[in-house]
Structure 1
Amino acid sequence: MAATTHFHLSAVLQGHTADVKAVVSPADTLIASASRDNTVGTWQRVGPNAFTPATPFKEHQHFVNSLAVVPPSTEHPNGLIVSGGADKIIYAFDPLDPSTPLYSLIGHDNNVCALTAGINGDVISGSWDFSAKVWRNWNCIYTLKHTQAVWAVLSVEHDVVLTGMDILSVINVDILGSADKTIKLWREGKEIHTYTGHTDAVRGLALYEGVGFVSCSNDSTIRLWSFNGDVLQELSGHTSFIYTIITLPGGEIVSAGEDRTMRVWRGNECVQTITHPCQSIWSVSAMANGDIISAGSDAVVRVWTRHDERKAEEAVIKAFNDEVSSSAIPSNQVGDVDKSKLPSLDALNQPGKKDGEVKMVRVGNAAEAHQWSAAEQQWIKIGEVVDAVGSGRRTEFDGKEYDYVFDIDIGEGVPPLKLPYNVTENPYQAAQEFIWKHEIPQGYLDQIANFIIQNAKGVTLGTGTSGHSDPFTGGGRYVPGGAGGGQQSLGDPFTGAGRYVPTGSAAGHSATQSSSGSSATPKAASGSYIPKVGYTTFRAANVAAILTKLVQFNGDLEKSMDYDGSLALTSDQRIRLESFMNSLANPSKFTSTFNPQSDLPILEKIALLWPAQYRFPGIDVLRLVVLHSSEVVKQWGGDLAARLARIGSFDGEGSVSRGKEDVKVVETNRMLVWRLVANTFERNDGVEWAWNDRLKIILLVKQNIPEASNKNLRVALATVLLNFAVLLNEKKQDDALRVELLEHVLELQKAETDAESEFRSFVTLGTLIHNNAAAKEAAQLMDVKDVLSKAERTTGDAELKLKQAERELRKVLG
């Protein structure tokens, strides 16, 4: 049987309709593949280089992401294929009869992303629920906890004593790789060693016979470890995430990942690089006959061989090479390209120095990338280098044309990922597909979508057409930190044309909307700002856009692999949500529509129980509801401050509880929490709640001020402080709190650059000091006058408004 030193294409298996995430080979005649089309495909060998699809396994209800092979036994002479995925269930089925699962393992709370099996029939599973489980005789005997998702599992067995066909003693040693960048060694369910060294998530593990094991990581490196924790070798060559790794009997290592390549390593050298016509190679696996299998994001499984008799026909090899050469490589993947300085095709007459070396050449007006193949002893075109952004022409990526191909940076020192985008797409949908493809935490959805919106803003769609626009990205889109989701400006809430003029009501509980989304009492009858009477609220809202965002997020949670599907609203809850939200524009109708028994649990779910990155539209709904209903304060009053602390990611003492939450997510949620608090002053029961829980609320304000860099967040904080200043004047109590508020307002003013927040702070200071000797003395000791010079920074109407507030504040200071 003739053999070569390099792998060549043997077979191309097509049949899946989405990414193939895992491949295994129970026997030389059989391959199994797991896909995001919710199936496990099985493929029977029908010739040296040919396979035919057999009956797929269709029990999974979501993406299938992991596979393992349980060796043959007396009970299961064909062995078993074990599969796991986003539906959290692990199934085991006979590879020759995949019609029905023989076993179903239920216990994980999230996506099952890794599986392996031991020769004794144990199954080890790794999950996004931060755990691995060891299953024996189809029952969970151990749960092994990490602090992040467990991406890789490996079973090692020592001290196995056999008598006849009975296993007398098995000491199981399991190795786990995790998103927390560590690898852990476990014996009989107990952690005995932690391996550290990788700088990003560990994605794959494999035994290295006679030495230890190898690991691969999102940090683009491969490490060879001894079991006692020594790093014996580190291999670098991949230019992006490495998702999968295996070892071959002769000691070679095969790896693949996000840089389109599968690489074969011998010793410390990469001896072969095989570029694929897809961005992500998710899985590689070895067959008993020495062949290897690869699977990727183009939904194709490929078999590779070193044996001439199993090589694919020339037409198949040519088709594969043509696919690779027609791929597009964004210029920002290879650095700035000055086509005029590239060598001509003649440069390819010189052989490469090593396998996988990439050389760019100029062909007419195009720049081509060619890769040296030591196996073929020639340069192979792997794609055309195209502009990533702003090229003025369509960009080809992964075999398709796009308007843009963006770089998405997901970590320091980690190569960026490529995000293709057409201007006709919904940016949020493009961002969601990107998250699913690269298995990025769901919390990055808005950040990625906003990146797309900002960088594709040079293209405008729909000009001259219907007034309807995309609620996610159009002019009327819902932007929680903005001025009411695309609504028209109605002027300054204190002095503008839409202002509320009180008619004898000290509280001024009716108001109109403003450009900042807030409302307030205007000048007093004397024409002054200070002292402020009446409370300021945030009323403006694009209810339709908020509802659209809620529906979108609910759909994401229904199909998310990150979160329990029970977080999503039921169909009945969605109908109730839409019903009472549609009535928000009419307060009398809302009162008759809103049902506390059925609707408060909905508000609690979307504003408090949903993950932080999904909460902001729910908090916004709660902000509007407290304007028109006493039920939130009535039902939650005793616990409302604590609920708001949890909604805004504060702990019980008011300090920040960030975890892994994005800073921007936390800022947005807190800004809406403070708008909500301001709106509780709209109703008498809310005013009483604010007074009774004033110390708890102000403690949260105090903790938030030093970190409030976002303009809208600072305006919301200033408004809450202003409302408490008005409340203190109404109650004529608690001078100690009055002085404390002076300190907080001055702290907020220290680095203030926004005119609206600054103005509200000036009015708050004046309102606190007005006719209060203790506050006046405290203000003088605090050098309040030092902040007044800031008014000179502003121009136009803002300058006039601030200067008037400055004059009034100087007057009350004396």
Structure 2
Amino acid sequence: MFKLSATLSGHHDDIKGVANLSDDSIVTVSRDKTGGVWERQGTVNFSLEKMLISHNGYVNSVSVLEIHNNSYIVTGGSDKIIYVWDSMDCSEPIYSLIGHEENVCVLAALKNGGIVSGSWDKTAKVWIDYQCVYTLKGHSSAIWAVSQLEDGTILTGSADRTICQWNGEKLIKTYKGHEDCVRALVPLSENKFASASNDGSIRIWDTQGNCLSNLYGHDSFIYALGVLPSNELVSSSEDRTIKIWKNNENIQTIILPATSIWCLSILKNGDIVCGTSNNNAYIFTRDQARLADIDTLNSFNEANAKFSESKKIKDKLDTERLPGPERLLQPGTKDQQIIMVRQGVEVEAHQWDANSSSWLKVGVVTDAVGQERKQLFEGKEYDYVFSVDLEDGLPNKKLPYNSSENPYNAAQNFINRNEISQTYLDQIASFIIQNTGGAQLGQGNKDLDPFTGQNKYIPGTEASSNYENPINKKNESSTLTHQGFSFPKNYVLMVSANTSAIINKFSEFNNQVGEEFKGLELANGETQCIKDLSTFLAKKDNEITDHINPKLDILVNTLKSWPEKYRFPLLDLLRLLVARNMSEETLINHIQQGESLYNFISDITKLPDALKPNMKNDQQLQVRITMGVRMLANMISHKPGRNQVVLSSKKLLEVFMEMANGSMNKSMALAVSTFLLNFAIMVYRAKNLLDESPIYPTDFGVNQCCDTLLSISKKLIENEIELCEKSNFKSSNELNSDALIRLVSIFGVLLLTDKERTRIFIKNEGMVDILNKLPKIDPSSQLSNACGLALSLAI
């Protein structure tokens, strides 16, 4: 029987795809917009060594290419782009494959070194030498599954319930039989293959078109299939399980602490890797030498025991006839047997473990009402699909919604699709919010703070904020909104981070510093102080107190003494620390120490040079600058930090004005836009006495600050538009929407601060045309609503 071997924890959202470079190297991709490469450490443990960061949306598919003894990782996602990565250096993609018009939900490697991709746009594309050689058109709904048979022909499975077989771009056969969306395909032999569907069945076909057998056993959608070296079939489902099939019989059921088992991959050694909706990947093995240690196994069993699911999932369960806890005193009839027992008002699921001759609790069936199953609308997957009764006598209309969406955007799409009066917008959005809990700005943008091995540390996109400062509990809501959007009046913090990754990189650099510069490395006690700061930061409610001060001393002194190229993990820790509510004395003693903040963040002074064409490849410098700007953005959120920023405001704004003439990567652009927005909010809050002891940037002049902020923001917006237009809207240089929302918000905040001055700028400097143009280039609701609100205030 398969048993747990390892748990891979590190992603911040569902793992939608898994693949393997080898038995010791696994690739995962996630809804947190990232991919990860996990390397085996010892017999069973894996560590996240590299991250794949370029996608601007969910990463939903992954495959591995083997070409001339080199391995390449291929990823696709909701941003419609396919990226190809060199597995030896994952700092950035080596190819971008552009062509799909919607989510790329499945990828497969071809025997000739090519790639086949499937998309919600109802097409599959075949790519040879990273060029699209033909597009497979014929399905009437989204393509969820692709595979290649032994004879080189390609299979595609679709939400239209059919499977198509292609020779080149010619459709040669259509297989019909499934009653719902086809989600997975896998070859079994030279003339056989298996398919799986949302109808809960697995079908075995021959290539003549005959369905040889139907396998039933799953209770819900089946998402993935794989074949073991022993020729046994493996399937994963929305019912919490992986099932092993032999001779068309289910010989083992593995229960996991997650509703959706999205994906699986089979290692050459016979182990199974799967990705789940609880953000973890799991490895299962039959090899006793690779079984999980007792702590990992106990954690897994405990998570299973605590897992709750609704009675709606077990709709055929007759609770009145279930046995009581006395049933657990009797042994199981076979290994992995599952039974339900009544424990008071609850129903518990237990699984028999033959090795220990005991029942393991694997879940609780509750009366909870919720969204347990993913649902489909027009072949696409949504968290919710509501039936809306618009008019008596007419069929109900379907309202699809994903929890990462803005409710107003979903409502507007529903209005457009069904030609409903615009007056219903607020009513429909309110319905969504009431029935789902709603969605906040940036809820769907959960990003990791990335790191890689191989002496690289690549800045990733910062998670979008809800525009709410958790330190400053005052939350004055705006009285002016546009379709639910209002300009922020609280400071925006950049605090998304993977502190364990930062500490790993710090430890690596400490060793390198010791080798290159004897005496600059930290001793064990000092490195422990840096690690203690990381532990402190992991507890979100901690405030900086006296016991932290000595550790801060070590951090700041190290930051000043170490060579610049080794500083960025320390800068990363510092930008997280300054987001906490520091006292004036703490900031002055540990950060300023007699010199200006501007000089302390020495890399900021190099920002204009870093953006020159010949400096674009100096990634380390750009990383340090990005960290420094994030730190500045966080410092404005409390009074001592604002004091320090104000003292250097003239030089800082002058540098950012120069910087506006260069081009930045998306991480830096987001950091800069956040700092400028917080600067504008500082001026607004000072004018309206919303901050204790309000501070104005008097050395530069308030009016000049406003003019400078407006000029910089306009130039940065123009830069983003220019990049997008040059790429014809079809490359990774598409609009950086998160940064643009913040840049447009600067105009909104300054309209609320000095309306006449800002209105004159908007009208005289061509901003009316720009604010009208942005929603046409990028119709995302938040950006469109920000532009609409700014125009309504300005005109």
TM-score (normalizing by structure 2): 0.51
- For 1:103, which of 90, 95, 112 is the aligned residue? 95
Tell me, in whole angstroms, the C-alpha distance in 1 between the residues paired with 2:773 and 2:252. 56
Residue in 2 aligned with 1:154?
147
Tell me, in whole angstroms, the C-alpha distance in 1 between the residues paired with 2:778 and 2:200. 36
1:178 and 2:158 equivalent? yes
Question: C-alpha deviations, 1:221-257, integer Å up to 9, x for none?
Answer: 1111111211111112211211111112332111112
Residue in 2 aligned with 1:68?
63
* Residues 240 and 255, structure 2, Cα contact 8 Å, conserved in 1: yes
* Residues 383 and 403, structure 2, Cα contact 8 Å, conserved in 1: no
Tell me, in whole angstroms, the C-alpha distance in 1 between the residues paired with 2:235 and 2:168. 30
Residue in 1 aligned with 2:122?
130
Tell me, in whole angstroms, the C-alpha distance in 1 between the residues paired with 2:126 and 2:401. 35
- Gaps of at least 5 residues in structure 1 are 1-5, 159-171, 390-404, 421-429, 458-465, 480-557, 584-589, 630-814
Output aligned runs, 1:181-192, within 5 Å.
Answer: 181-192=161-172
1:316 and 2:308 equivalent? no
Tell me, in whole angstroms, the C-alpha distance in 2 between the residues paired with 1:375 and 1:448. 53
Residue in 2 aligned with 1:118?
110
CA drift of 1:204 comes to 1.3
Opposite residue 87 of structure 2, the aligned amino acid is P
SS at match of 2:312: helix
1:289 and 2:269 equivalent? yes
Residue in 2 aligned with 1:453?
434
Residue in 1 aligned with 2:39?
44
SS at match of 1:79: strand
Opposite residue 433 of structure 1, the aligned amino acid is S
1:22 and 2:17 equivalent? yes
SS at match of 1:215: strand
SS at match of 1:348: helix
Residue in 2 aligned with 1:362?
342
Output aligned runs, 1:694-713, within 5 Å.
Answer: none
Opposite residue 148 of structure 2, the aligned amino acid is S
SS at match of 1:388: coil
Output aligned runs, 1:559-708, within 5 Å.
Answer: none
- Gaps of at least 5 residues in structure 2 are 386-399, 416-424, 439-473, 485-723, 725-729, 753-758
* Residues 354 and 374, structure 1, Cα contact 8 Å, conserved in 2: yes
Identity among equivalent positions (%) equals 36
Question: C-alpha deviations, 1:316-352, integer Å up to 9, x for none?
Answer: 2121111101111222222387867642211123455
Residue in 2 aligned with 1:279?
259
Q: Residues 598 and 283 from structure 1, CA distance in 2 versus in 1: closer, same or farther, beyond 3 angstroms?
A: same
CA drift of 1:294 comes to 0.9
Question: C-alpha deviations, 1:419-440, integer Å up to 9, x for none?
Answer: 89xxxxxxxxx9532779xxx9
* Residues 68 and 115, structure 1, Cα contact 8 Å, conserved in 2: yes
Residue in 2 aligned with 1:33?
28
Q: Residues 431 and 120 from structure 1, CA distance in 2 versus in 1: closer, same or farther, beyond 3 angstroms?
A: closer
- For 2:131, which of 139, 145, 151 is the aligned residue? 139
Tell me, in whole angstroms, the C-alpha distance in 1 between the residues paired with 2:429 and 2:335. 36
Tell me, in whole angstroms, the C-alpha distance in 2 between the residues paired with 1:373 and 1:211. 38
Q: Residues 317 and 609 from structure 1, CA distance in 2 versus in 1: closer, same or farther, beyond 3 angstroms?
A: closer
Deviates more, 1:368-377 or 1:321-330: 368-377
Rg larger for: 1
CA drift of 1:30 comes to 1.3
1:303 and 2:283 equivalent? yes
Tell me, in whole angstroms, the C-alpha distance in 2 between the residues paired with 1:372 and 1:218. 28
Opposite residue 243 of structure 1, the aligned amino acid is Y
Q: Residues 135 and 119 from structure 1, CA distance in 2 versus in 1: closer, same or farther, beyond 3 angstroms?
A: same
* Residues 205 and 213, structure 1, Cα contact 8 Å, conserved in 2: yes
Q: Residues 283 and 570 from structure 1, CA distance in 2 versus in 1: closer, same or farther, beyond 3 angstroms?
A: closer
* Residues 21 and 34, structure 1, Cα contact 8 Å, conserved in 2: yes
CA drift of 1:378 comes to 4.6
SS at match of 2:118: strand
* Residues 202 and 215, structure 1, Cα contact 8 Å, conserved in 2: yes
Tell me, in whole angstroms, the C-alpha distance in 1 between the residues paired with 2:313 and 2:80. 36
Opposite residue 277 of structure 2, the aligned amino acid is S
CA drift of 1:92 comes to 2.2
Q: Residues 91 and 194 from structure 1, CA distance in 2 versus in 1: closer, same or farther, beyond 3 angstroms?
A: same
Residue in 1 aligned with 2:216?
236
Question: C-alpha deviations, 1:604-662, integer Å up to 9, x for none?
Answer: 99899979x99x999x99xxx9xxx9xxxxxxxxxxxxxxxxxxxxxxxxxxxxxxxxx
CA drift of 1:60 comes to 3.0
Output aligned runs, 1:771-786, within 5 Å.
Answer: none
Tell me, in whole angstroms, the C-alpha distance in 2 between the residues paired with 1:148 and 1:252. 31
1:212 and 2:212 equivalent? no
Opposite residue 294 of structure 1, the aligned amino acid is C
* Residues 144 and 183, structure 2, Cα contact 8 Å, conserved in 1: yes
1:12 and 2:7 equivalent? yes
CA drift of 1:373 comes to 5.2
Question: C-alpha deviations, 1:734-772, integer Å up to 9, x for none?
Answer: xxxxxxxxxxxxxxxxxxxxxxxxxxxxxxxxxxxxxxx
* Residues 159 and 182, structure 2, Cα contact 8 Å, conserved in 1: yes
Residue in 2 aligned with 1:345?
325
Q: Residues 444 and 19 from structure 1, CA distance in 2 versus in 1: closer, same or farther, beyond 3 angstroms?
A: farther
Tell me, in whole angstroms, the C-alpha distance in 1 between the residues paired with 2:346 and 2:745. 57
Tell me, in whole angstroms, the C-alpha distance in 2 between the residues paired with 1:358 and 1:307. 23
Opposite residue 145 of structure 2, the aligned amino acid is A
Opposite residue 179 of structure 2, the aligned amino acid is T
Question: C-alpha deviations, 1:152-197, integer Å up to 9, x for none?
Answer: 1112352xxxxxxxxxxxxx41111122222111111111111122
Tell me, in whole angstroms, the C-alpha distance in 1 between the residues paired with 2:39 and 2:233. 26
1:432 and 2:402 equivalent? yes
Q: Residues 451 and 382 from structure 1, CA distance in 2 versus in 1: closer, same or farther, beyond 3 angstroms?
A: farther
SS at match of 1:309: helix
Tell me, in whole angstroms, the C-alpha distance in 2 between the residues paired with 1:289 and 1:71. 18
Question: C-alpha deviations, 1:121-167, integer Å up to 9, x for none?
Answer: 11111122222111112221111123322211112352xxxxxxxxx
Tell me, in whole angstroms, the C-alpha distance in 2 between the residues paired with 1:295 and 1:452. 29
Opposite residue 325 of structure 1, the aligned amino acid is A
SS at match of 1:332: coil
CA drift of 1:451 comes to 6.0
Tell me, in whole angstroms, the C-alpha distance in 1 between the residues paired with 2:741 and 2:321. 64
Q: Residues 601 and 67 from structure 1, CA distance in 2 versus in 1: closer, same or farther, beyond 3 angstroms?
A: same
Tell me, in whole angstroms, the C-alpha distance in 2 between the residues paired with 1:269 and 1:449. 48
TM-score (normalizing by structure 1): 0.50
CA drift of 1:577 comes to 15
CA drift of 1:448 comes to 9.6
Residue in 1 aligned with 2:538?
none
Residue in 2 aligned with 1:423?
none
Tell me, in whole angstroms, the C-alpha distance in 2 between the residues paired with 1:442 and 1:206. 39
Opposite residue 13 of structure 1, the aligned amino acid is L
